[in-house]
A and B are shown apart, each in its own frame.
Chain A
Amino acid sequence: DIQVTQSPSTLSASVGDRVTITCRTSQSISRWLAWYQQKPGKAPKLLIYKASILESGVPSRFSGSGSGTEFTLTISSLQPDDFATYFCEEYSSYYNFGQGTKLEIK
């Protein structure tokens, strides 16, 4: 089974900050990685798939990079609506999720 390690678990930042979240996988998954945003009481929302492809309708301040075993999600300039929890998901075999990063207002 592929293990997915996401960091940090909590991130405090301010509006306008640039933030980065990292996911590492226990074995190479090429670029089969997605990022989701989740707000309390809501289902996850797809942001990025295949490591770096922005889902339609997602603001361009979100970007993803990486391949193999290390991946990053970057938000270039935080907006108030971005404070939420973020998950990565590898889908090279079955589906395995990272533990989540809660992005909080500093």
Chain B
Amino acid sequence: EVQLVESGGSVVRPGGSLRLSCAASGFTFDDYDMSWVRQVPGKGLEWVSGINWNGDSRSYADSVKGRFTISRDNAKNSLYLQMNSLRGEDTAVYYCAKPYCNDSGCYHFDLWGQGTLVSVSS
């Protein structure tokens, strides 16, 4: 079955750190760029970070730049998000998302995980 399964969400204090994981299965993981997208409960979606197929290129939303680090382990079919210096506004459901990719590039997201909740609170 083609799927993404996130884990690692929890309650953390402001200033704390957390590492999210996303396990991919059912497709050739290292053929695809990957992203993290977050959603404050009841609100809209925000792209957080993306990484290319081999990890050589990473990009971040301004809201997390310098605090979050995206990485991947293709041997383990896994994507990660290291979140440091967490703030209340980082409270959200974090989704792992796979784009549709072809020889010309990567485009819309065609596969999402179920999400993992990060709550930053004292």
Contact = CB atoms under 8 A, between A and B. Distances in A.
Interface of A: 32, 34, 42-46, 49-50, 55, 87, 89, 91, 94-100
Contacts of B37: 95
Contacts, number: 52
A46 B44 contact: no
B45 interface: yes
B44 A99 contact: yes
B115 A43 contact: yes
Given A43-B95, A43-B115, A49-B100, A97 B109 contact: no
A80 to B, nearest CB: 22
Contacts of B99: 91
Given A95-B47, A96-B47, A98-B44, A46 B109 contact: yes
Contacts of A99: 44
11 contacts: A32-B107, A42-B114, A45-B112, A46-B109, A49-B100, A50-B108, A87-B45, A95-B47, A97-B44, A100-B43, A100-B45
Interface string B15-54: 0000000000000000000010100000111110010000
A94 B50 contact: yes
A91 to B, nearest CB: 5
B41 to A, nearest CB: 10
Interface string B78-99: 0000000000000000010001
Contacts of B108: 34, 46, 49-50, 89, 91
B113 interface: yes
Contacts of B59: 94
B20 to A, nearest CB: 15
B46 A97 contact: yes
A2 B47 CA distance: 13
Contact of B107 (A55, A91, A100): A91
A91 B107 CA distance: 6
Given A95-B37, A97-B47, A44 B107 contact: no
